[in-house]
A and B are shown apart, each in its own frame.
Chain A
Amino acid sequence: MAAVTALSMSVTAFADEPYNSYNYDSWEDAVPSQSAYMVETTITGAEMGLSRLRDPSDPLYVSDTAPLSLNGARDIFIYEEDKELWVADANNNRILVLGLDDYQLKACYTGVKGSSVDNFLNPFGIFVNVSESLGQKVVYIADTDNSRIVKATIKDEKTLECVREYTKPTDSIYTVQSFNPKKLVVDKSETVYTVVNSVNTGSAMFSREGKFLGFFGANRVEVTAAVIAQRIWRMIASEEQLAGMKRNVPIEYANFDIDLDGFIYTVTEQKTSTDAVKKLNPAGYNIWNNARGNEYKFGDLQGQLWDPVTNKNFQTRLTDIDISKEGLINVLDFETGRVFQYDKECNLICIFGSKTSTSDQRGSMLNPNAVESCGKRVFVVDGSKNDITVFIETQFGKYVHAAFALYDEGRYVEAKSEWEEVIKRDGGYTYAYIGLGKAALNEEHFSKALKYFKTAYDQDDYDKAFKYAREDFLREHFTLIIIIIAVLIVLLIVKSILKKKGIKLIKRRKKPLAEAIPALFKKKKEKEGE
């Protein structure tokens, strides 16, 4: 009977994600969790209506051979003001614009008018915003294989008009032969930051006028045993040997994003403990610096993991980062196809998405290239499956996000009801207990707070709560404690006085005992003596 039940359970098909949601607990062990996001839909070329590009009667007509699907899409950008989803369809050499509500094709650009080269060649990156100097919407495109960045205004749904081209800097500080910009962001003063292929000194900066300004926010070299050993060898090596040695250079970062306050967030693909994810202030200084005593961790925490689905070890390889309007940080791991979502303080909210051996299910990726978020949706672009997966937050995710939003503002008590809803759905959600503990602490329910912090295994907050709880205890029982101490002191004084005067209160008991022990000993001694 039991076997039959188990069997029937195992063959039941769920319209569920093709992965088990998990989260990390206080010991950094992976524990099962609820799904905070689920797949809403996937958008392929057919769903976008790319066939319109082949229809001569359609205003969007391009040619009879226009590709009907995405091909190696590299980047997406959501322009919320006009409800547009921009896709850099790299291998098809075009930029697509979709409506954010219906995911239908709105515009298609294969090139830009009035520039040195008319057609795009592998455009890898895209950025859209409103230019204050021009007073209208402008598009920035990293036209990678044409070695340029194009800044263009939108004329109609098929033509872009070039405003400025950013090409390879001629300054001597730019030492790399090629100029292949991959990703770009633009800040409010219209300074263009771009990640250039094989440039490891940070992102290249261009001013609004197109002048090269230098590099921004380079990674550091991670200090490993090999690096130290090489440093020592360099001291004793000859000139020829030095010339043949590999140089220790920092790893270039893979991608970045800019938030509403102008902070730039970078991700580095390779495993580094130093600079995997950085939050850079305008001076290029990393705010999330582990060297200053904080611990910021991103991606999977256990390093080499065995993935039961693909049967292999893998290392986290963070390939894209997105900062939502609410300040949530989505980090996309190329290796596992997982999106890790963090709050403003880098607390892990949830993990979703996957990479399975076949990747034929919704929610599993093959070649995840970019992540972008908008409201309660998260979009992930796949460069091999040639689709866009749309994740939408679940009821659980809704409560978690609401709770985190209040929690990050320090409104612990208001977050209480949200955390309780979270716990109803996932009793192992660590931050819910921390949140409830902080709420209890604010309300001065100390023992309750201690209990919550203990459940969450949050030692630091427990310590703080314990301090208050102890004070509270002492204050409440102050008289009792003083009385006990006073009684003890009086007893000690009485005892010393009695001793001084040679008065023994418990005469009868003490005497035989005092005599008995030496007597016992003497007997033993005598025995030994014999």
Chain B
Amino acid sequence: MSIIVGYLPSPEGTAALEAAITQARKDAKLLVVINSSRGDALVDKRYAENEEIAGIEERLKKEGIEHLVQQPVRGNDAASEVLQAAEQHRADLIVIGLRRRTPVGKLIMGSTAQQILLEAGCPVLAVKAAHQS
């Protein structure tokens, strides 16, 4: 049993990761961090840099959480990567970050969060970015 978190180098992604760490600490479960890219553009901001991934791994190690950090580049979109990982690790919780999308933006680009919410076979915890004070 495990917790899957979809991670992006953004405030939403960080918030999701924080929430997932809290959950994992409480339940002492395997935490799987997924940061994927379709890999079809030369530059993808959503794909975390090596140093960043190393930082996350180090932190998880320090907290004593059993973890797995994956960066799949297989031409799939983020939603299907997260769902696939959830199935593979028999997840009992998926954690994702939400951000505000305009209706038009959602119509054109679709919504990764929506796809995960609709298709996930387990509870999904959706968090928003921490409010700037």
User: Are A and B part of the same complex?
Assistant: no
